[in-house]
Structure 1
Amino acid sequence: MKSFKLFKRISHGILSIVYYPRDVKPIGCKWVYSVKLNSDGSLNRYKARLVALGNKQEYGIDCDETFAPVAKMTPVRMVISIAASSGWSLHQMDVKNAFLHGDLIEDIYIIHPQGLFSSSNGVCKLKRSLYGLKQEPRAWYEKFLSTLLEFSFTQSQYDSSLFIHRTSAGIVLLLLYVDDMVITGSDHTSIQRLKQQLQASFHMKDLGNLHYFLGLEVHSTSKGIFLHQHKYAADLIYMAGLQLVNLVDTSLAVNVKYHRDGGDLCMIRYCIGNLWLVSQFMHSPRHLHLAAVRRIILYLKETTQCGLFFPVGIYPKLSAYNDADWAGCPDTQRSVTGWCMFLGTSLISWKSKKQARVSKSSTESEYRAMSPACSEIIWLRGLLAELGFPQTEPTSLYADNISDIHFVVNPVFHERTKHIEVDCHSICDTYDDKLISLPHVSTQFQVADILNKAVPRSRHQFLVSKLMLLDQPHQFEGDVNKGIILLSLIVYISISRID
């Protein structure tokens, strides 16, 4: 069986048998066996693959460039949101043995699998990339990029894994994540032609309409597109062994601060790497941190059926909410930044991150939080313009601190802001260029509040509803209309309160 597979690769032009070169040190190889599962956990197929031992490669000799860009989650959600609002269909394709298509620049030799050839002088010279090589992702990406450029696609300036093709009938978009790709657009004829061209160039598998991508389960309805991670949450709950434990209403206990050295050491580290809040304590986990992990997983169990909904017919206008929890870290006294971005009413991007500096006031902490939010807005505006949805008006960045708004609007900085890093003051240039506006929003309606602090149950449920985090698809019709009206009403009330 192994011999057959290897000779099959030879016949496909992957490698050839040559005599042992004296001036070259070949690297090893081995067979790897794995099981591929479907999105629901059922068996898809068994896989066997010959891989090179890339850990023996030396940079500058056996390999050079190794990095290959992949699709980021924010552009993925943006493309799905635009497809939902515009009524575009989403298609998915998969490349079979993608890394075997890459062209190698270097001369790579591997030792043949043991027992396959009787001659000790025989080695295998790779004609194309092989799994296990350090440069395999780069070689495949360069091959795919050159192929799409031949198909008259252009590469996005804002995301290297996004490719765009404009025709007289519309537009075609392709997102690439290693060997998985999502295709959508308004020109259905060009989409079908692209599929045929890809199948003629590579060994492709047409998976039909998009259902599962990067851990996201996708369900399309007449009302829009629903994204969730039921399987991921179920696997996390099963791994933690909490299937039969009572549920909780919120992910974090109110008025509880998690210290680095709080409580006794705990040797169990399961699940912590999946959760941002407690992943910062992985080097020395305590029982209190384990209790926090347990509560978060129980909350996931309560909300397993929830997901993000992208409705039909909503114009993709970008808006954002920004907030900070002043001195939120009890160990370092650093603040926690939180912001979220909406495209229409669809949540496409969010961030919760500890700031790099200690802020002397809540005003300073929220002013620092504006800087990364502005950078994200500039990036998203450029991406939307490439996709054919330019933002003609300034993007609303809702803030609940009036002092911060005055700092940005007033060109003369006050005495207490001169110590803030220069890069934070780029917010003023963004405001002067009319890329953002800074409407004031009441703290009661600040959506980003949920990203940087624990809140009571009633407020937690209120903020979740504003994020368009909905339940099962059969509840869409009522929940979507209620969510859209609620979000619009909150923005209207907040802006009306500005003096």
Structure 2
Amino acid sequence: MATFSDGCQKCIFTWRSSRRGLYATSAWGTDPGGIKELQASLHSSFHMKDLGILTYFLGLEVHHSDRGIFVNQHKYTHDLIALAGLENSTPMDTPLEVNVKYSQTDGDLLPDPTIYRRLVGSLIYLTITRPDISYAVNLMSQFMHQPRHLHLAAVKRIIRYLIGTPSRGIFYKAHSSLILQAYSDADWAGCPDTRRSTTGWCMYLGDALISWKCQKQRKLSKSSTESEYRAMSSACSEIVWLRRLLSELVFPQADPTPLYADNMSAIRITVNPVLHEKTKHIEVDCHYIRNAYVDNIITVPYVSTKFQIADILTKALTKIRHQFLVGKLMLLDSPASI
């Protein structure tokens, strides 16, 4: 399998051997014979070189063990800390201070926004393996046009958080189920400038975190229920895409995918057709989730806010709460941990 990206369009190409059979591809990731066969086929078409087991690629460090694969950006993180000039600073326990709102008009403008934009751009790339800073980075990226001193201070706090966790990354267990499940959450009207809400969701394949999102919603929501429903609809779109992809990779999902939410009103709108008819103020595209529920693509079980993993993608949290959810994201602080 190979992946290619062209602008916003992403493609995945798979190759199947008629000799091995249509469904033998599911084991090719660890099948030396299948790998050699694929390499020989590619080599017959163009020049290529086998670089061996992946250990480093564009700042991503890949560590292999019998227990699984650990991916982090250790060197990249140290380079970022050095770029900010914070090598000797005291580490912080969380990326953002709790209950602090950042506005486009806070404080004085930076005379030169270059360093702010470089730091935020680097942090955005770091979120490839650090979902624990996704909300903070998403928030600070909203001030790229006219950053202010208070915004730069917040960015430096994120980096001081990284000082204490430079080796943190995502761990993928060697033996895990292939059952897809998802968590969805929203922070209602959290933006002080626009009063738009923040969507957060994360997808697991067994114990492995494979996809997540933190994004300000495009439109205003009139209630917390509406904002949660929009977040669930966004997560549902990802679920549909992932289920289709897994089917093409010969890992079809036999049962509906659970989409865990902590807002009972939003869940009721999804499962109750009577309530669904009374929500015409919510755009038609948001009701996409209703059709997915009817078609048995998803279920929408309730999860207590205490165990809502996507909470870390929608707001700043206390130290204890943040550390608890970091563990649920399958993030480890060192390759030696595996």
Q: Does the alignment reach a TM-score above 0.5? A: yes
Structure-2 residue corresponding to 1:243 = 87
How has the CA–CA distance of structure 1 residues 214 and 269 changed in structure 2, closer, same or farther, with 3 Å as cutoff?
same
How has the CA–CA distance of structure 1 residues 280 and 323 changed in structure 2, closer, same or farther, with 3 Å as cutoff?
same
Structure-2 residue corresponding to 1:37 = none
1:207 aligns with 2:51: yes
Structure-2 residue corresponding to 1:326 = 188
How has the CA–CA distance of structure 1 residues 259 and 288 changed in structure 2, closer, same or farther, with 3 Å as cutoff?
same
Structure-2 residue corresponding to 1:409 = 271
Tell me by how many angstroms 1:166 deviates: 4.3
- How many Å separate the matches in 1 of 2:230 and 2:58? 32
Give the aligned CA root-mean-square deviation in angstroms.
Answer: 2.2
The Cα offsets for residues 133-160 of structure 1, whole Å up to 9 and x where unpaired, read as xxxx89xxxxxxxxxxxxxxxxxxx952
How has the CA–CA distance of structure 1 residues 184 and 277 changed in structure 2, closer, same or farther, with 3 Å as cutoff?
farther
Structure 1 regions of 5+ residues with no counterpart?
A: 1-68, 73-136, 139-157, 174-182, 477-499
* TM score, norm. by length of structure 2: 0.88
Structure-2 residue corresponding to 1:306 = 168
The Cα offsets for residues 33-89 of structure 1, whole Å up to 9 and x where unpaired, read as xxxxxxxxxxxxxxxxxxxxxxxxxxxxxxxxxxxx9547xxxxxxxxxxxxxxxxx
1:446 is matched by which residue type in structure 2? Q
How has the CA–CA distance of structure 1 residues 166 and 386 changed in structure 2, closer, same or farther, with 3 Å as cutoff?
farther
- How many Å separate the matches in 2 of 1:198 and 1:349? 29
The Cα offsets for residues 258-279 of structure 1, whole Å up to 9 and x where unpaired, read as 1001000112332123343212
The Cα offsets for residues 443-491 of structure 1, whole Å up to 9 and x where unpaired, read as 0110000001000000000000000101223222xxxxxxxxxxxxxxx
How has the CA–CA distance of structure 1 residues 429 and 245 changed in structure 2, closer, same or farther, with 3 Å as cutoff?
same
Higher strand residue share = 1
How has the CA–CA distance of structure 1 residues 391 and 70 changed in structure 2, closer, same or farther, with 3 Å as cutoff?
closer
Q: Does the CA-based 8 Å contact 2:25-2:250 persist in structure 1? A: no
Structure-2 residue corresponding to 1:24 = none
1:337 aligns with 2:199: yes
Aligned pairs for 1:37-436 (under 5 A) are: 71=4, 160-169=11-20, 171-172=24-25, 185-266=29-110, 267-270=112-115, 271-274=119-122, 275-413=137-275, 417-436=279-298
1:330 is matched by which residue type in structure 2? P
Structure-2 residue corresponding to 1:467 = 329
Larger Rg: 1
1:165 is matched by which residue type in structure 2? R
SS in 1 for 2:50: strand
- How many Å separate the matches in 1 of 2:169 and 2:15? 28
Q: Does the CA-based 8 Å contact 1:172-1:191 persist in structure 2? A: no
Tell me by how many angstroms 1:190 deviates: 2.7
* TM score, norm. by length of structure 1: 0.60
- How many Å separate the matches in 1 of 2:30 and 2:249? 11
How has the CA–CA distance of structure 1 residues 459 and 304 changed in structure 2, closer, same or farther, with 3 Å as cutoff?
same
How has the CA–CA distance of structure 1 residues 418 and 325 changed in structure 2, closer, same or farther, with 3 Å as cutoff?
same
- How many Å separate the matches in 2 of 1:373 and 1:210? 31
- How many Å separate the matches in 2 of 1:197 and 1:338? 42
- How many Å separate the matches in 2 of 1:472 and 1:187? 29
Tell me by how many angstroms 1:415 deviates: 7.5
Q: Does the CA-based 8 Å contact 2:25-2:249 persist in structure 1? A: no
1:258 is matched by which residue type in structure 2? Y
Percent identical pairs in the alignment equals 57
- How many Å separate the matches in 1 of 2:330 and 2:14? 29
Q: Does the CA-based 8 Å contact 1:224-1:309 persist in structure 2? A: yes
The Cα offsets for residues 277-320 of structure 1, whole Å up to 9 and x where unpaired, read as 21211111101100111011111221111111111221111000
- How many Å separate the matches in 1 of 2:251 and 2:277? 41
1:404 is matched by which residue type in structure 2? A
SS in 2 for 1:291: helix
- How many Å separate the matches in 1 of 2:246 and 2:162? 32
Structure 2 regions of 5+ residues with no counterpart?
A: 123-136
Query: Which structure is richer in relative contact order (CA contacts within 8 A, separation 6 or more)?
Result: 2
- How many Å separate the matches in 1 of 2:35 and 2:215? 39
2:86 is matched by which residue type in structure 1? L
Tell me by how many angstroms 1:171 deviates: 4.1
Count of residues in correspondence between the two structures:
316
How has the CA–CA distance of structure 1 residues 349 and 414 changed in structure 2, closer, same or farther, with 3 Å as cutoff?
closer
SS in 2 for 1:203: coil
1:231 is matched by which residue type in structure 2? K
